[in-house]
A = this chain, B = another copy of it.
Amino acid sequence: MSDLVTFGETMLRLSPPHGERLERTRTLDVQAGGAESNVAVAAARLGVDAVWLSKLPDSSLGRRVVSELRSHGVRTGIVWDDPAESRIGTYYLEPGTEPRGTDVIYDRADAAVTTTVPEELPLGAIRNSDVFYTSGITPALSETLAATTERVLAAAQDGESTTTVFDLNYRSKLWSPAEAREEFESLFPAIDVLVAAERDVRSVLEREGDAPELARGLADDFGFETVVVTRGENGSVALNEGQVFEQDVYRAETVDAIGTGDAFVGGFLAKRLHGGGVGEALEYGSAAASLKRTINGDLAVISPEEVDAVVEHEAGGISR
């Protein structure tokens, strides 16, 4: 039995040093990155018993991912695939500098995870978890995964006390808004807590209004227990049992923006699992997200004490 189970793809993230371009770099930094493992890492580091489920080639590259996640205290449930027959997804990230945009090149087609069928997954463990989390990336990766996502969400729904959490995470490089919308809406009935970027709610789910209105509309139409709308620099809004919570972002100097949203979700879930209310969880998630921004890589290498310090505005300075 675990507090949090997540399921999804984790890729090798390959990025050149600061100020260097992919076209010309001689070295790439390597890290593990993927929405569902990012959430698991953030939550595990904040005291949650977290498990990440996936499929990986049984190679040094697959083991690398597991090794990195385990180092943060995440437990892993891996379907090991024949390395001669499968690959690991990768993505190349060249961080932007104004006015040069960030360049992301996905090379994730046909990754091992895309063939995962429900029979390979520990559905019992999912059913026994307090929270099951996956994101809109997972069903976008393959038809097989779309079907599997449906099945594991159903399994989680079967759990007596399992809350299902879903982050839209719309990726335009994977599918069209229309395809995504259709898939998302078919999954929504199995979801208790929806997290979505305001811009995705507008462009993918084709809804209008301000953030609280968007949340209310979604909750009304699909019966979500909680809807969290993230608004980038403008903070976040949550609707829970009719009540609206608003949260500003904490000021941060951004070293690496990738994974900020996942740190937010990991922090939010950690606070909720530890008994916090939705407002507290928004605050905690925002603080976790602001800390993530100061750290290289997808992963929120943070501690509960640090998140508390941000929430209590005690951060900064040098203690010696």
Q: How far is the CB of A82 from chain B (nearest CB, A)?
A: 12
- Taking CB atoms, residues of chain B closer than 8 Å to A275 are none
**Which residue, of A61, A96, A98, A172, has the highest number of chain B Cβ atoms within 10 A?**
A98
Inter-chain CA distance A98–B252, complex, in Å, is: 5
**Is A130 part of the contact surface with B, judged by Cβ < 8 Å?**
no
Q: How far is the CB of A170 from chain B (nearest CB, A)?
A: 10
Cβ < 8 Å to B, chain A residues 222-243: none
Q: Are A295 and B19 in contact (CB under 8 A)?
A: yes
Inter-chain CA distance A24–B252, complex, in Å, is: 21
Inter-chain CA distance A25–B318, complex, in Å, is: 20
**Which residue, of A98, A303, A320, has the highest number of chain B Cβ atoms within 10 A?**
A320
**Is A20 part of the contact surface with B, judged by Cβ < 8 Å?**
yes
Which of B71, B103, B309, B315 contacts A67 (CB under 8 A)? Answer: B71
Interface 0/1 of A104-118, CB less than 8 Å to B: 111101100000000
Write the chain B residue with the least CB distance to A313.
B99
**Is A197 part of the contact surface with B, judged by Cβ < 8 Å?**
no
Given contacts A23-B67, A29-B27, contact A316 B109 (CB under 8 A): no
**Is A60 part of the contact surface with B, judged by Cβ < 8 Å?**
yes
**Is A253 part of the contact surface with B, judged by Cβ < 8 Å?**
yes
Instruction: Spot the interface stretch: A47-55, A83-91, A142-150, A179-187.
Output: A83-91
Write the chain B residue with the least CB distance to A88.
B107
- Taking CB atoms, residues of chain B closer than 8 Å to A309 are 99, 101
Q: Are A291 and B100 in contact (CB under 8 A)?
A: yes
Q: Which A residues form the contact surface with B (CB < 8 A)?
A: 14, 18-31, 59-61, 63-64, 67-68, 70-73, 83-84, 87-88, 90, 92, 94, 96-107, 109-110, 171-173, 250-253, 255-258, 287, 290-291, 294-296, 301, 303, 306, 309-310, 315-320
